């Protein structure tokens, strides 16, 4: 495979994408049909004066329309820059602000939009004096011709990060990065022509775009594709892709497995067979063994095996995949003794396997994300960048053919550093017997009596408290002067959980840490386009004295906090 478009020259009629359809269930579009649509989009872009290497921002809401829009942009020799859909934004104003921020960085020659988002595209592009807005629907009447195709742009993709650590940044992913990472994924998973894949992840996000969409196209296998909203409304449909239609692989964040286990009833699975489901990737956020155990227990009577779980680690700055558990081998979990100290060894006191029930439910356990995928190398480094021995805690550094060429950004961010020695990810973790364990973000932590306390650890502990819904809490950590702060925001209707929440926080810190607990309405936690809590924004709002909700413990600053 030289590029991720090689498949298009031999696009099949009997392989393709099954798009989720609320009317008929699934609507099949063959690879050959998709290739024809992509050619028409390429012709449309050229008709509007696109030049080789131009950036084209994609503002397309529907999954069915995004597929040809993205492929047509690449086919035209242009660089696609996908923009998140409005789904995860609370209100039109916030979404318009996000689109404006992305367009400022992308500086596109053209904006390709569907009719539903055309007004926002026109408004934001005009404000910035940017590229012309083209309606995707105009491509329908164009003829398909080889003249529409160009050599793929050297900059294969401008992938915007979700913005969890600040303003969105465009990662410059080359066409060679894309091809190398997709090859790595296929080799890691052992993908064959007998496989087929399912996904409900958004295509503007690297995990859905590269891991499943481009992955299935380049492997020339079927993809059962839902929108995130379709999944939230009916997670059973996702399971049907495997239990009734034979899909063998999927990828989802931890949330997806836990949500499905809560929403789907055992009787809903009658007649389904999951014995051929061989890969269930789990990534993009902290893995909670409780969610995996509940999911496995639900599906096990119908043939699902826990060895299908394949936790993985990746980031846009490395195109996507960095490490992953080998399918079929089982994913290890460990419990550690004491706190984590940068540069010092970790001490495992318990071992388990993902998908099984753990002592204490699994809240205090970490899950292996496997060894590095082919073409990648992972080190753990200290604060000065020196490589640490295996089993020591520090920052994750990545090297290899998939590491991108840096950012296209107006706001430099030191949390992810592209250096001559590799990519310093800003994520904390350790290697154990050659496998990577991810703890959390380096910046989302405080040091208490010499050991690191991570926001993700506290969030995992809080979701084990009765009355706190899964995924409905966020923790911001920070320091003012010599005082450390823990600010916990919980979206819940009452405060019956407060004592349990304080016990979790105090067990991980000490009496010197100032704790503020806030009860917020649903939707009160600011989130990124991929649904992750924006912890640094929470911290800034706390410092500025902004109302986060009802303070049920501690005090919120009445005036900006300085330090």
8 plus 147 within the same structural domain: yes
pLDDT level of residue 166 (50, 70, 90 thresholds): low
Q: Is the pLDDT confidence value at 224 over 70?
A: yes
* Residue 212 resides in a domain: no
Residue that wins the pLDDT comparison between 357 and 562: 357
Residue 401: the pLDDT is 96
Q: Which domain CATH number covers 419?
A: 2.30.38.10
Q: Is residue 91 in a domain?
A: yes
Considering the domain architecture, whether residues 437 and 457 belong to the same structural domain is answered as no
Q: Do 410 and 494 fall into the same domain?
A: no
In degrees, rounded to 5, the angle at the alpha carbon of residue 66 between the alpha carbons of residues 221 and 236 is 60
The better pLDDT of the pair 481, 539 is held by 539
Distance (Å, whole) CA 349 – CA 370: 19
Sequence-separated (6 or more) residues with CB below 8 Å from residue 193? 219, 220, 221
Q: With 50 as the cut, is the pLDDT of residue 130 above it?
A: yes
pLDDT tens sequence across 420-470: 889 999 899 999 999 999 998 887 788 777 677 888 888 888 888 888 887
In angstroms, the CA 466 to CA 493 distance is: 13
Question: Do 394 and 470 have their domain in common?
Answer: no
Number of domains making up the chain? 3
What's the Rg (C-alpha) of the chain?
A: 23
Is residue 95 within 8 A of residue 86, CB to CB? The reply is yes
Distances (CA, A) of 375 to 127, 192, 423: 43, 19, 14
Same domain, 73 and 37: yes
338-387 pLDDT, tens digit each: 777 889 999 999 999 999 988 776 667 899 999 999 999 999 999 889 99
Whether residue 125 is found in the same domain as residue 11: yes
Q: Cβ-count burial of 436 within 10 angstroms (0-12 exposed, 13-18 middle, 19+ buried)?
A: buried
**pLDDT reading at 250 higher than 80:** yes
**pLDDT score of 414:** 46
CATH number reported for the structural domain that contains residue 148 in this entry: 3.40.50.980
> What distance lies between CA 44 and its chain's CA centroid?
31
Q: Are 445 and 453 in contact (CB under 8 A)?
A: yes
- Closest to 154 (Cα-Cα) out of 181, 173, 175, 172: 175
Residue 467 and residue 322 share a domain: no
| Domain carrying residue 106 | 1-16+24-153
On whether both 3 and 127 belong to a single domain, the answer is yes
- 17 versus 524: which is more confidently predicted? 17
Check: CB of residue 516 under 8 Å from CB of residue 549.
no
Q: Are 429 and 539 in a shared domain?
A: no
Average pLDDT, the chain: 89
pLDDT tens digit sequence for 228-243: 999 999 999 999 999 9
Which range in 74-83, 329-338, 501-510 is most confidently predicted, on average pLDDT?
74-83
The arithmetic mean of pLDDT across residues 96-101, rounded, is: 90
Structural domain contains residue 266 = no
* Distinct helix (H) and strand (E) counts, the chain: 14, 29
Name the residue among 116, 108, 159, 107 with its Cα closest to residue 136: 116
Q: Take residue 293 and report the two structure tokens written for it.
A: 């155990």
- Pick from 102, 135, 153: which residue ends a domain? 153
* Domain closes at, from 441, 456, 475: 441
Instruction: Report helix, strand or coil for 496.
Output: coil
Give the per-residue pLDDT at 525: 87
* pLDDT, tens only, 5-48: 999 989 999 999 999 987 678 999 999 999 999 999 999 999 99
**What secondary structure letter does DSSP report for 213?**
I
Give me the sheet containing 407-408, strands edge to edge.
157-160, 170-173, 407-408
Domain membership flag for residue 187? no
156/159 Cα distance (integer angstroms) = 9
**pLDDT at residue 558, rounded to an integer:** 56
Nearest to 341 by CA among 393, 390, 386: 393
Query: Domain ends where: 387, 420, 441?
Result: 441
Same domain, 507 and 383: no
What average pLDDT does range 528-532 have in this prediction? Answer: 71
Task: Look up the CATH number of the domain holding residue 468.
Answer: 3.30.300.30
Q: Is residue 263 part of a domain?
A: no
Q: Identify any residues that bridge with 378 across adjacent strands, giving them in sequence order.
A: 398
Same structural domain for residues 437 and 547? no
Which of the residue ranges 63-77, 115-129, 340-354, 400-414 would you say has the lowest mean pLDDT?
400-414
The answer to which of 133-137, 379-383, 523-527 has the lowest mean pLDDT is 523-527
């Amino acid at each position: 495979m030289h590029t991720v478009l090689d498949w298009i020259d031999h696009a099949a009629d009997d392989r393709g994408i099954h798009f989720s359809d609320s009317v008929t269930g699934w609507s099949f579009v063959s690879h050959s049909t998709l290739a024809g649509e992509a050619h028409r989009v390429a012709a449309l872009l050229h008709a509007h004066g696109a030049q080789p290497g131009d950036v084209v921002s994609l503002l397309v809401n529907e999954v069915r329309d995004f597929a040809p829009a993205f492929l047509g942009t690449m086919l035209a020799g242009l660089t696609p820059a996908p923009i998140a859909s409005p789904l995860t934004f609370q209100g039109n104003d916030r979404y318009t602000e996000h689109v404006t921020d992305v367009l400022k960085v992308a500086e596109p020659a053209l904006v390709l939009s569907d009719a539903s988002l055309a007004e926002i595209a026109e408004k934001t592009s005009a404000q910035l004096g940017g590229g012309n807005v083209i309606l995707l629907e105009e491509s329908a009447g164009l003829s398909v011709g080889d003249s529409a195709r160009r050599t793929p742009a050297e900059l294969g993709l401008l992938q915007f990060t979700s913005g969890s650590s600040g303003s969105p940044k465009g990662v410059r992913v080359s066409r060679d990065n894309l091809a190398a990472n997709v090859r790595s994924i296929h080799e890691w998973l052992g993908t064959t022509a007998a496989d087929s894949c399912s996904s409900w992840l958004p295509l503007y996000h690297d995990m859905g775009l590269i891991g499943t969409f481009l992955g299935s196209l380049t492997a020339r296998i079927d993809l059962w594709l839902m929108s995130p909203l379709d999944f939230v409304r009916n997670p059973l449909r996702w399971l049907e892709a495997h239990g009734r239609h034979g899909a063998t692989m999927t990828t989802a964040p931890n949330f997806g497995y836990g949500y499905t286990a809560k929403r789907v009833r055992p009787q809903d699975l009658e007649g389904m067979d999951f014995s051929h489901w061989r890969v269930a990737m789990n990534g993009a956020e902290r893995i909670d063994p409780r969610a995996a155990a509940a999911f496995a227990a639900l599906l096990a009577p119908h043939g699902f095996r826990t060895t299908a779980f394949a936790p993985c680690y990746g980031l846009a700055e490395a195109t996507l995949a960095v490490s992953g558990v080998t399918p079929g081998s089982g994913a290890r979990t460990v419990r550690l003794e004491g706190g984590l100290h940068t540069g010092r060894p970790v001490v495992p006191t318990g071992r388990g396997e993902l998908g099984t029930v753990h002592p204490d439910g699994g809240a205090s356990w970490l899950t292996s994300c496997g060894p590095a995928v082919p073409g990648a190398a992972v080190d753990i480094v200290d604060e000065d960048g020196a490589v640490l021995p295996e089993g020591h805690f520090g920052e994750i550094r990545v090297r290899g053919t998939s590491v991108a060429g840096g950012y296209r950004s107006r706001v430099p961010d030191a949390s992810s550093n592209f250096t001559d020695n590799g990519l310093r990810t800003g994520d904390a973790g350790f290697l154990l017997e050659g496998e990577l364990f991810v703890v959390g973000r380096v910046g989302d932590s405080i040091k208490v009596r010499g050991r690191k306390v991570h926001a993700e650890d506290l969030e995992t502990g809080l979701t084990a408290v009765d009355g706190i819904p899964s995924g409905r809490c966020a923790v911001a950590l920070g320091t003012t002067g010599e005082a450390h702060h823990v600010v916990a925001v919980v979206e819940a209707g009452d405060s019956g959980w407060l004592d349990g929440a304080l016990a979790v926080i105090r067990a991980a810190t000490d009496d010197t840490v100032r704790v503020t607990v806030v009860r917020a309405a649903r939707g009160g936690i600011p989130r990124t386009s991929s649904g992750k809590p924006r912890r640094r924004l929470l911290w800034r709002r706390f410092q500025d004295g902004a109302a986060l909700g009802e303070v049920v413990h501690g005090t919120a600053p009445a005036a900006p906090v300085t330090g």
